[in-house]
C-alpha cells in the first residue's frame, strides 16, 4: 500500500515538469566534414535520431530534465555529454567533432576471413562501400549501383533483354560470387537474373574481395566476391522510403519498416518495386533501347535476442520480374512466335538464409541458405524453361588457441538441382532417343583457417579447403595471406596467394547460349577450372598540415588459369563452341584507389584499374572478349552545411574492348572506342526526416553504335542464305554475310535522362 501511494505521488509531481519540453539541435562533423547517419541518442530514454547529409540533427519535444547524450558512428570514437533542459535552456544548439578511430579503418568486415574483424586487422584486403556511397548515384538495382566501384563492372550480355553479370578485374560474372549477409545466394541461373530486386534501403554496406575466395566459400568465388550486408533491425529506422523517377518514365520505390514484435525479437521488412513501360528507340534500329520491366521484391529479416547474446537471425526474399525487349511493335501475343521478334523473361525466385549460434561453450555457428529459381523465357521462337534449387549448410567453429592462434574450422554441404529444356539436362537411350534428366550435384566440403599473430605488426593467415563434387571428384583449395602494418598504423602491406576453382554450367551463365541466334557446341566433357592467384596490396594514410586526409590503396594482381572454359564465338559465326582451353589464360593488372577528405566539406574518391586479360591456345594469344584494358571511376562531392545542400559528381571511363564479330566481312568495329558514363546530383535536406534529390544521368549522352545488333531488320534470318555446312553466304542483299546476332554489346543503350526523387525517414527511436 505504501509503495502504491509513493508511485501515485511520483506521477502526480512529475506531471508539471514533463508538461514542458525543449529541443536539442546541432551539427556532427569530423575535421569540419559533415557526418551523415551519425547516431544521436539520449541514453536510457526512447529518444534518438540520425544526422542528415549536412551533419545536422534535431530532437524535438524532449521533456525538461538532465540527460546523457551519446554521438556515435562506425569508424569514429563515441562522444558523450551531459546536458540539462530547463526553462532557461529550453533550446540547446550543440556541435560535435568526432575523431576517426584507428585512422578510419576500423570498419568491421566479415568477408575476408568469415568472422567479424576490423578492416585494418584483416589479413585479406576488403573494400567497404556504405549506403552513402551508393546514394551519390541512385539506381534501381544492386547490379547498376556497382558501376562506380573500381575494378568492378556491370556487364550487359544482351542488346535485347539487357541481362548481365558482374566482372571483377576483368573476369566474367560466373567467376564472381554474390552473397547476402555472408550466405551464397546468387549462383547459376541467378548469376544472370538474380542481381536485381534487392531493396537498397535495407543495405548497410557492401564488402568486395578481389581475388580467389574459394578456400572459404567454394566454387564460383574464383574472381572474387561481393557480400551485401543488410541492416540489423535494431539499427534501422521505424520507416523509410526512397522513391525516384526519370524522364524515361522509369519509377523505383524502396520502402522499409522496422517491426518491434517484443523484447526478444525484431524484424525488418522491405519492399522494392521497379516499373518501366515506355518503349524507346533512339538509335533507330527498330528494337527497344532498354528492356521494359515490372519487378517486385519482398525482403524480411528477423533477429532474435538470446541468452549470453548468442546469434540467431533469419531472412527471406521473394522476387518476381517480367521483362521484355525486342521489336517496337512486339506484345505478348507474339511471345514464342516467328512474326515479331521479342525476348520475354518471367522470373520467380525465393530465398531463405540465416545463422544460428549453437548453445555450447564453444563458439559454433550453423549458417544455412536455400533458394528456388524458376525461369520462363522466350528468345524469338526459342523457349527456355528452367528450374533450379540450391540448399546450403555450413557448420563453423571459432576458437582462440593461446595468444597467437585464431582458429576457424568448419564443414559445408551444398545441394544443387538443375533442370531445363536444353541438351544440358538431356540423356539418350540405346536408340539415341532423347529424354530429360535433371542435373543433381552434391558438394560436401571441409575447411580450416589459422590466423597466426607472429608479432603485433605481423600476421599470417593459412587456409586449406577440400571439396568433393559428385560429378568431378575432389578439389583442394589452399590460401596463404601475410599482413604487416607500421606502429602508427598508417601503413599496411598485404601479400596473398591462393587457389580457386569453378564448375561451369553454360546454360545458366552464358546468355548468348540461350538466344537461339547461334548453335551451341561442346567439345569433350567440360572439366572444372582451376586458378592460382597472387596479390600485393598496400594501404597508406596521409595527414596534411591543413587537416586534409589522403588515403592510398594500391593492388597488383596476377591469376593463372588451368582448364579455362572458353566460349569461342569466332571460329564459326553461327556457333558458340565451348571447350576447356588447351593452354592457359592470364589475368594480370594494377589498381589504385585514392580518397581525399578536406575540412572544407569537399571529398573525393577515384580509382583506376589497368589490366591485361588473355588466353593462349596452341601458341596463339587472344585478348579476352568484352574486357577493357583500362577503367576508371570517381565520386566527387561538396556539402554546403548552412544550406544543407550536397552536390555529387560521379562517373566512369572505359578503354577499348575486343568485340565479337560475325566473320571477316563484318563491317562493325573489332574494338570498342573509349567511352564514359557521367552523372551529377543535387541533394537537399528538409529537416531531419525529408530529403529531395535530383540530377542528370549520362551527361555526355553516350550510347553504343546503332548497328550493334546485326541484321536487326531480319531477326528470324529470313533473308539469310546458308551453305550445306551452315555458313552464311554473301549475297546481294547480305554482302557482309551477317545473321541476326545481339551479342555485340559493351555499353548501355540508355542515353541522357533527368531523375528526381525523395527520401523520408521516420525516427530511430530506441525501445
Of 135-149, 166-180, 460-474, 501-515, which gets the smallest average pLDDT? 501-515
Sequence-ordered strand ranges (E) for 618-707: 620-623, 630-640, 645-654, 675-686, 690-697
Beta bridge partners of 496: 481, 535
Per-residue pLDDT band at 241 (split at 50, 70, 90): very high
Q: Does residue 512 register a pLDDT over 60?
A: no
Block residue for cell numbers 567440360: 526
Q: Does residue 289 register a pLDDT over 90?
A: yes
Beta bridge partners of 397: 364, 409
Q: Does residue 760 register a pLDDT over 90?
A: yes
Strands 519-522 and 575-580: parallel
Nearest-Å Rg of the Cα atoms of the chain is 28
Beta bridge partners of 127: 208
> How far is CA 680 from each of CA 115, 269, 335, 638, 694, rounded to the nearest angstrom?
37, 31, 39, 12, 8
Of 240-249, 504-513, 707-716, which gets the smallest average pLDDT? 504-513
What is the pLDDT at residue 17?
39
| Interval 571-611: pLDDT, tens | 666 666 766 777 788 999 999 999 988 767 788 999 999 99
CA separation for the pair 112, 190 (Å, rounded): 23
What is the pLDDT at residue 120?
72
Q: Is 44 left (phi over 0), alpha (psi -120 to 50) or beta?
A: left
Sequence-ordered strand ranges (E) for 138-215: 152-156, 164-168, 176-180, 183-186, 203-210
Q: Does residue 510 register a pLDDT over 70?
A: no
| Interval 403-412: pLDDT, tens | 899 999 999 9
Instruction: Tell me if residue 309 falls in helix, strand or coil.
Output: helix
Q: What is the DSSP letter of 77?
A: -
Q: Does residue 523 register a pLDDT over 60?
A: yes
Give the residue, 193 or 426, on which the prediction is more confident: 426
Count Cβ neighbours within 10 Å for each residue of 619-648 and write b for 16 or more, e otherwise: eeeeebbbbbbebbbbbbbebebeebebeb
| Interval 178-228: pLDDT, tens | 888 887 776 666 655 556 666 777 788 888 888 766 556 666 677 788 888
What average pLDDT score do residues 706-727 get?
Answer: 91
| Interval 31-45: pLDDT, tens | 777 887 777 888 877
Our separate counts of H helices and E strands in the chain read 6, 45
Give the residue, 426 or 468, on which the prediction is more confident: 468
Instruction: Tell me if residue 305 falls in helix, strand or coil.
Output: coil
Per-residue pLDDT band at 110 (split at 50, 70, 90): low
> Is the alpha carbon torsion for 474, 494, 551, 641 positive or negative?
positive
Beta bridge partners of 434: 428
What is the pLDDT at residue 3?
47
224 and 233 Cβ atoms separated by less than 8 Å: no
What average pLDDT score do residues 741-753 get?
Answer: 92
CA separation for the pair 126, 138 (Å, rounded): 23
256 and 202 Cβ atoms separated by less than 8 Å: yes
Give the residue, 731 or 523, on which the prediction is more confident: 731
441 and 432 Cβ atoms separated by less than 8 Å: no
Per-residue pLDDT band at 622 (split at 50, 70, 90): confident
Q: Does residue 7 register a pLDDT over 50?
A: no
CA separation for the pair 189, 376 (Å, rounded): 12
Q: Does residue 471 register a pLDDT over 70?
A: yes
Strands 21-30 and 91-97: parallel
What is the pLDDT at residue 242?
95
What is the pLDDT at residue 6?
45
Of 123-132, 151-160, 211-220, 364-373, which gets the smallest average pLDDT? 211-220
Q: Which residues contact 642 (CB under 8 A, 6 or more apart)?
A: none
Per-residue pLDDT band at 125 (split at 50, 70, 90): confident
pTM: 0.82
> How far is CA 452 from each of CA 407, 411, 455, 461, 481, rounded to the nearest angstrom?
9, 21, 9, 6, 10
Of 96-105, 354-363, 645-654, which gets the smallest average pLDDT? 96-105
What is the pLDDT at residue 409?
94
Average pLDDT, the chain: 84
Give the residue, 120 or 195, on which the prediction is more confident: 120
CA separation for the pair 758, 290 (Å, rounded): 24
Per-residue pLDDT band at 10 (split at 50, 70, 90): very low
| Interval 36-95: pLDDT, tens | 777 788 887 778 787 887 888 888 888 888 888 988 775 677 888 889 888 777 888 898
Per-residue pLDDT band at 633 (split at 50, 70, 90): very high
Which domains occur in the chain, in start order? 18-99 (2.60.40.1120), 230-762 (2.40.170.20)
761 and 37 Cβ atoms separated by less than 8 Å: no
Phi and psi at residue 604, in whole multiples of 5°? -155, 145
What is the pLDDT at residue 657?
94
Share of the chain above pLDDT 90, in %: 43
Give 589-606 as a 3 state SS string: EEEEEEEEECCCCEEEEE
Give the residue, 560 or 674, on which the prediction is more confident: 674
CA separation for the pair 105, 489 (Å, rounded): 9
Amino acid at each position: 500500500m505504501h509503495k502504491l501511494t509513493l508511485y501515485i505521488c511520483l506521477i502526480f509531481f512529475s506531471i508539471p515538469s514533463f508538461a514542458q519540453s525543449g529541443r536539442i539541435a546541432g551539427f556532427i562533423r569530423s575535421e569540419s566534414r559533415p557526418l551523415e547517419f551519425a547516431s544521436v541518442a539520449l541514453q536510457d530514454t526512447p529518444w534518438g535520431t540520425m544526422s542528415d547529409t549536412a551533419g545536422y540533427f534535431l530532437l524535438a519535444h524532449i521533456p525538461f530534465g538532465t540527460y546523457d547524450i551519446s554521438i556515435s558512428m562506425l569508424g569514429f570514437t563515441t562522444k558523450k555529454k551531459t546536458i540539462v533542459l530547463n526553462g532557461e535552456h529550453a533550446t540547446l544548439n550543440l556541435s560535435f567533432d568526432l575523431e576517426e578511430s584507428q585512422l578510419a579503418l576500423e570498419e568491421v568486415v566479415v568477408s575476408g576471413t568469415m568472422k567479424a574483424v576490423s578492416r585494418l586487422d584483416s589479413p585479406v584486403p576488403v573494400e567497404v562501400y556504405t549506403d552513402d556511397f551508393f546514394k551519390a548515384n541512385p539506381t534501381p538495382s544492386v547490379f547498376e549501383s556497382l558501376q562506380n566501384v573500381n575494378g568492378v563492372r556491370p556487364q550487359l550480355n544482351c542488346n535485347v533483354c539487357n541481362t548481365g553479370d558482374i566482372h571483377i578485374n576483368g573476369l566474367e560474372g560466373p567467376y564472381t560470387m554474390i552473397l547476402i549477409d555472408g550466405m551464397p545466394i546468387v549462383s547459376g541461373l541467378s548469376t544472370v537474373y538474380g542481381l536485381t530486386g534487392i531493396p537498397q534501403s535495407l543495405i548497410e554496406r557492401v564488402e568486395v574481395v578481389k581475388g580467389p575466395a574459394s578456400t572459404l566459400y567454394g566454387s564460383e568465388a574464383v574472381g572474387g566476391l561481393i557480400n551485401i550486408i543488410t541492416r540489423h533491425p535494431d539499427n534501422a529506422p521505424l520507416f523509410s522510403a526512397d522513391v525516384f523517377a526519370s524522364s524515361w518514365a522509369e519509377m523505383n520505390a524502396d520502402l522499409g519498416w522496422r517491426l518491434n514484435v517484443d523484447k526478444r525479437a525484431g524484424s525488418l521488412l522491405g519492399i522494392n518495386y521497379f516499373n518501366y513501360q515506355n518503349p524507346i528507340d533512339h538509335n533507330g534500329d527498330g528494337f527497344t533501347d532498354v528492356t521494359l520491366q515490372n519487378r517486385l521484391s519482398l525482403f524480411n529479416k528477423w533477429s532474435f535476442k538470446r541468452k549470453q547474446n548468442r546469434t540467431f537471425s533469419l531472412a527471406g526474399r521473394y522476387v518476381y520480374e517480367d521483362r521484355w525487349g525486342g521489336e517496337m511493335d512486339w506484345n505478348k501475343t507474339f511471345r514464342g512466335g516467328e512474326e515479331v521478334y521479342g525476348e520475354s523473361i518471367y522470373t520467380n525466385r525465393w530465398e531463405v538464409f540465416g545463422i544460428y549460434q549453437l548453445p555450447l561453450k564453444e563458439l559454433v555457428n550453423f549458417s544455412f541458405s536455400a533458394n528456388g529459381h524458376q525461369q520462363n523465357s522466350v528468345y524469338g521462337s526459342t523457349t527456355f524453361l528452367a528450374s533450379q534449387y540450391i540448399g546450403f549448410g555450413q557448420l563453423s567453429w571459432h576458437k582462440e588457441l593461446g595468444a597467437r592462434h585464431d582458429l576457424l574450422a568448419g564443414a559445408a554441404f551444398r545441394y544443387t538441382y538443375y533442370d531445363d529444356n536444353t541438351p544440358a539436362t538431356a540423356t539418350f537411350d540405346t536408340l539415341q532417343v532423347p529424354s530429360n534428366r535433371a542435373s543433381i550435384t552434391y558438394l560436401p566440403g571441409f575447411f580450416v583457417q589459422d590466423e597466426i599473430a607472429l608479432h603485433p605488426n605481423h600476421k599470417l593467415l593459412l587456409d586449406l579447403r577440400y571439396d568433393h563434387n559428385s560429378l568431378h571428384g575432389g578439389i583442394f583449395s589452399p590460401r596463404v595471406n601475410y599482413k604487416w602494418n607500421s606502429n602508427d598504423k598508417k601503413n599496411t602491406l598485404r601479400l596473398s596467394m591462393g587457389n580457386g576453382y569453378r564448375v561451369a554450367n553454360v546454360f545458366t551463365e552464358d546468355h548468348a547460349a540461350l538466344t537461339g541466334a547461334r548453335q551451341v557446341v561442346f567439345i569433350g566433357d567440360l572439366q572444372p577450372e582451376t586458378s592460382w592467384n597472387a596479390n600485393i596490396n598496400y594501404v597508406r594514410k596521409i595527414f596534411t598540415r591543413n587537416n586534409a586526409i589522403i588515403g592510398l590503396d594500391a593492388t597488383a594482381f596476377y591469376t593463372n588459369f588451368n582448364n579455362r572454359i572458353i566460349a569461342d564465338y569466332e571460329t564459326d559465326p553461327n556457333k558458340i563452341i565451348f571447350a576447356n582451353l588447351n593452354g592457359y589464360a592470364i589475368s594480370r593488372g594494377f589498381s589504385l584507389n585514392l580518397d581525399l577528405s578536406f575540412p572544407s566539406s569537399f571529398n573525393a574518391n577515384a580509382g583506376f584499374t589497368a589490366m591485361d586479360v588473355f588466353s593462349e591456345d596452341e601458341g596463339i594469344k587472344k585478348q579476352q572478349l568484352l574486357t577493357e584494358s583500362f577503367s576508371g571511376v570517381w565520386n566527387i562531392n561538396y556539402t554546403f552545411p548552412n544550406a544543407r545542400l550536397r552536390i555529387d559528381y560521379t562517373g566512369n571511363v572505359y578503354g577499348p574492348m575486343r568485340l565479337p564479330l560475325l566473320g571477316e566481312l563484318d563491317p562493325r568495329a573489332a574494338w570498342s572506342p573509349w567511352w564514359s558514363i557521367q552523372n551529377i546530383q543535387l541533394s537537399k535536406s528538409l529537416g531531419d526526416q525529408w530529403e529531395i534529390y535530383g540530377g542528370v544521368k549520362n551527361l555526355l549522352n553516350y550510347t553504343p553504335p546503332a548497328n550493334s545488333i546485326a541484321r536487326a531488320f531480319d531477326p528470324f534470318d529470313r533473308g539469310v542464305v546458308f551453305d550445306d555446312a551452315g555458313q552464311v553466304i554473301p549475297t546481294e542483299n547480305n554482302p557482309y554475310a551477317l545473321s541476326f546476332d545481339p551479342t555485340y554489346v559493351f555499353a548501355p543503350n540508355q542515353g541522357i535522362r533527368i531523375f528526381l526523387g525523395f527520401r523520408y525517414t521516420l525516427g530511430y527511436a530506441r525501445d
